[in-house]
Amino acid sequence: MKHEFKKILIAVDASENAKRAVSYVGEIVSDGRGFRITLLYVLRRVERDLFPDESTWMEKIEKEKKSATKMLERLKGLLVEKGLDAKDVTHELIEISDFSIAQAIMDFQEKGGYGTVVIGRRGMSKAEEFLFGSISNKIVHYAKNCAVWVIE
Amino acid sequence: MSNEVQELVKRLRPNLSIGQYGRIYRDTTEFMKISYGDVIALEDQHYLVLRDEAERSFGIEDPKYWVKRCIHLESGERKILKLVFYEKFTLKLGDLDIPCYRSPRKEGRILDLVRGDSRFMQGVSKKDEKGNLVRIIDVVSGKRLDHHVFEMEMPHREYFFKEFPGILEKFIDSCRAIEFLHENREIHGDIRRDHLWREYKSGNYVWIDFDYAYEFEENPFGLDIFGLGSLLIYLAGKQIYTMANLSQILGDKDLEFEKQDFSLLYKNRIVNLRKLFPYIPEQMNVIFMHFSQGAEVFYETVSEFLADLEPCLEIIKNKEAS
């Protein structure tokens, strides 16, 4: 598949960094033509082990889904505010049970032929990176056939 | 109620004498109430409670009221019963606070996964009449590996070449056990020194306690891998070294330490052991340094860690022979 650099995938979550990344892309591309942007929210199902029962767990997942959908709408609004045409901005929420969010983002990028991937990065200490891993670092290391913009 | 327990004990364990007969619990929800002399009934099996288990840290006993030391009345075997206690607590690792959850479900699942594997504690889980998942654990007859190592009375050099190769060989197997968990999408969750035991009879190393679960950003195995690294450094050093206890081994010798010589998480612990013991092979020290404040690249899987560690065993053995 051909990867078009004007086809931009912004991976977002509920953080401020994601908002910053979206805002940055809005500033950069709003005057240009031919850009198509997809906002992608990968929702990893919170582990069932963290909850005493099925219903509290499902409640939590539903709550996260709702909040992710709202967040995507808000971020789309932000891009439109910056001057992008609403028809050029789409959003996707995908739910995974696998461990790796980075892998899900890269799979989506590959499948959709996105030539640019944008991700926000929060300041993380070395210890945090060791213990919990970093989505943005993983994407920088393993992404293929695309440019990666990491917004800090 | 007391009579019921007394009759049960008399019938099943006629030679057992206890000081007090309590009551039979089929619902373990209120575990604080269950104490010495009570019996926990699970399906058709009975467990006489002897005491609450406790963890010792800094010389203080911290009782674990949800963990009961018992005698299985039908067989006479000692068992540990872990009752359901949903707890969210903060695990402190150096400067980091990690929110952790106690998950009976996770531990029950791992017990099923590792059944018959001597590298892990063994047990089964059964539901009480209220659906609480009770884990019935076989007692590991042994002692903490770190205590076993620490108590070996010999100079470090002698320890490193005579004892450590055997310890490392078994520790590598313990790492493979964790690798096996990871391959099966499970984590240990709390790899620390008091969770790896050495069995008296077999000398086997056994992982215990798998009920910790925690949230992570991208790598679910990081905490386990860090635990393995810290344990390896302890075993290679035979103890922990900090600036405070260095004088015992250095004597009058003066050594300078930099930030990168210390642990990434436990900022006062020296991980650059080769600086203290120059006969430690460089290849092994490189592994230690991946857990230091100077590290730029971290292990993401146990397989990567093992790929570096396994060759070290031969190197040490050959060094010993030469």
Cβ count near A74 (within 10 Å): 13
Average pLDDT for B19-28? 94
A51-110, pLDDT tens digit by residue?
988 999 999 999 999 999 999 999 999 999 999 999 999 999 999 988 899 999 999 999
B161 touching A, CB under 8 A?
Answer: no
Residues of chain B with C-beta less than 8 angstroms from the C-beta of A128: 96
Res B322 pLDDT > 70: no
* Closest B-chain CA to A13: B217
CATH number of A4-151: 3.40.50.620
- DSSP label at B243? T
B154-190, pLDDT tens digit by residue?
999 999 999 999 999 999 999 999 999 999 999 999 9
Residue A123 CA, distance from chain mean position: 17
CB contact under 8 A, A130 and B226: yes
Distance CA B12, CA B16 (A): 9
Percent of chain B with pLDDT over 90: 77
The CATH 1.10.510.10 portion of chain B extends over: 142-321
**Side-chain-facing half-sphere of B20: CA atoms under 13 Å:** 10
CATH number of B142-321: 1.10.510.10
A129 touching B, CB under 8 A?
Answer: yes
Interface contacts A/B by beta carbons within 8 Å = 67
At B106 the pLDDT is 95
Average pLDDT for B283-307? 96
* Closest B-chain CA to A136: B218
Question: Of all helices (H) and strands (E), which one includes residue B88?
Answer: strand B88-93
User: What is the residue extent of each domain of chain A?
Assistant: 4-151
**Side-chain-facing half-sphere of B298: CA atoms under 13 Å:** 27
What are the phi and psi torsion angles at B124 (to 5°)? -130, 165
Structural contact between residues B285 and B272, judged by C-beta atoms closer than 8 angstroms: yes
B91 touching A, CB under 8 A?
Answer: no
At B2 the pLDDT is 67
Query: Are β-strands A36-44 and A4-12 bridged in parallel, bridged antiparallel, or unpaired?
Result: parallel
- DSSP label at B269? B
| pLDDT tier, B58 (very low <50, low <70, confident <90, very high otherwise) | low
Residue A103 burial (10 A CB sphere; 0-12, 13-18, 19+):
middle
What are the phi and psi torsion angles at B69 (to 5°)? -85, 125
B115-149, pLDDT tens digit by residue?
999 999 999 999 999 999 999 999 999 999 999 99
Give which of B84, B97, B113, B218 to mutate to test A binding, by max A Cβ within 10 Å.
Answer: B218
A53 touching B, CB under 8 A?
Answer: no
Give contacts of A 82-111 with B, CB under 8 A.
99-102
Residues of chain A with C-beta less than 8 angstroms from the C-beta of B106: 49
Quick one: tokens of A39? 């906002």
Distance CA A85, CA A19 (A): 18
Quick one: tokens of A88? 């050029």
Structural contact between residues B128 and B26, judged by C-beta atoms closer than 8 angstroms: yes
By three-state DSSP, how is residue B134 classified? strand
| pLDDT tier, B319 (very low <50, low <70, confident <90, very high otherwise) | confident
SS3 content of chain A, % helix, strand, coil (to 5): 50, 25, 25
The alpha-carbon gap from A120 to the nearest alpha carbon of chain B, in Å, equals 14
The crossing angle, in degrees rounded to 10, of helices B282-289 and B222-237 is: 140
Give the number of residues written for chain B.
322
Q: In the 3-class helix/strand/coil scheme, how is A34-101 assigned residue by residue?
A: CCEEEEEEEEECCCHHHCCCHHHHHHHHHHHHHHHHHHHHHHHHHHHHCCCCHHHEEEEEEEECCCCH
At B306 the pLDDT is 98
- Sign for the pseudo-dihedral over CA of B221, B224, B228, B230: positive
